[in-house]
Amino acid sequence: MEIGDSTLLDDRRYKGELYARNKIAEFWLINLVERKVEVYTRPRGSRYQKKIVYDEGVSVPLVLDGKLVAEIDVAELIARA
Residue 29 pLDDT exceeds 90: yes
Question: 10 Å Cβ neighbour count for 44?
Answer: 11
Pairwise CA distance, residues 36 & 18, whole Å: 22
- The predicted-structure confidence for 49-78, as pLDDT tens digits, reads as follows 999 999 999 999 998 888 999 999 999 999
Model confidence at 35, in pLDDT bands (50, 70, 90)?
very high
How does the average pLDDT of the chain come out, rounded? 93
User: Under a CB-based contact definition with an 8 Å cutoff, are residues 3 and 36 in contact?
Assistant: no
Residue 5 pLDDT exceeds 90: no
Q: Where are the domains of the chain?
A: 2-80
